[in-house]
Amino acid sequence: MNRALAILGLLVTTAACDRARPLEQVEPSQLAIGARVEIRTDTVGLDQHARAATFALVDADNLGDRPATVTLGGVLVDADGHEVGRLRAETLWIPPRGRRTFALVDDADQPRPAAVAARIDVRGATRPRHEPPVAIEQGHVWKDGDRVVATAMVVNSSDRPCQAVVLAGFHDRDGAPMTRPFSVFPIGAGIERPARFVGPSGSTTGYIFVGKIRC
């Protein structure tokens, strides 16, 4: 057999076995959901998909030494603790000892004026088999008046063009999440692009991270 074909066959077999192997579950003790859940009603989506909806901003921390893919969901509640809307689940990759800011949007894409809080739950948490092909490097944050600015390079390390949702999480001086803006980045194979996000008034910290990736 041709040596190149043999190697290709081995790679295909390995990939198939990798897909068939069950994902390793993350122990609940390795995750921490932020105590501060901020309820916002604002425009979500882009262009023709933009609409007003209520959403919950909440942080999740990966306390372990390995990356985790975490899915959060929940419900919106009123001042009496009654459910007034369900939140659409969101999945994010979280690096070891890292944090990600989730934005859980009302699953009917509706404003919920009565919502004052949310009950958040972990819908799933697994160990990813591979590192994501698009990553953030050279992150910087600096103060600009009464807000902060976050910049970074978005790097596609794969040999294929990708489209990545690049997001930023901004927090106030008490650590409460304030906003989570995003932009869609088409990025060629082996290419890096700069990203820049400006935080809201009163923001004191910020960071940039990658959400969904399609290659």
**pLDDT: which is higher, 149 or 43:** 149
pLDDT of residue 94 exceeding 50, the answer is: yes
pLDDT of residue 5 exceeding 50, the answer is: no
Give me 149's structure tokens: 């600015």
Confidence bin at 48 (pLDDT 50/70/90):
confident
Which helix or strand (DSSP H or E) is residue 38 part of? strand 38-44
Cα 8 to chain centroid distance, Å, stands at 34
Note the pTM of the prediction, 2 decimals: 0.89
136-157 b/e (C-beta count within 10 Å ≥ 16 → b) = beeeebeeeeebbbbbbebbbe
* Domains present along the chain, CATH in parentheses: 28-126 (2.60.40), 134-214 (2.60.40.3230)
Rounded to the nearest integer, the mean pLDDT of the chain is 92
59-70 b/e (C-beta count within 10 Å ≥ 16 → b) = bbbbebeebbbb
User: Which residues touch 146 (CB under 8 Å, ≥6 apart)?
Assistant: 201, 202
50 and 79 in contact (C-beta within 8 Å)? no
Instruction: For residue 11, give the DSSP letter.
Output: H
Alpha helices (H) in the chain, listed in sequence order: 3-20
Give me 178's structure tokens: 């304030």
- Report CA-CA distances (Å) from 70 to 46, 121, 127, 198: 24, 11, 9, 26
54 and 115 in contact (C-beta within 8 Å)? yes
106 and 112 in contact (C-beta within 8 Å)? yes
Condensed to tens digits (0 to 9), the pLDDT of residues 106-129 reads: 999 999 999 999 999 999 999 999
Condensed to tens digits (0 to 9), the pLDDT of residues 17-46 reads: 566 678 999 999 999 999 999 999 998 987
Q: What count of other Cβ atoms lies within 10 Å of the Cβ of residue 95?
A: 16
**pLDDT: which is higher, 118 or 15:** 118
Which helix or strand (DSSP H or E) is residue 89 part of? strand 83-94
User: What confidence score (pLDDT) does residue 140 get?
Assistant: 98
Total residues belonging to the chain: 215
Say whether 157 sits in a helix, a strand or coil.
coil
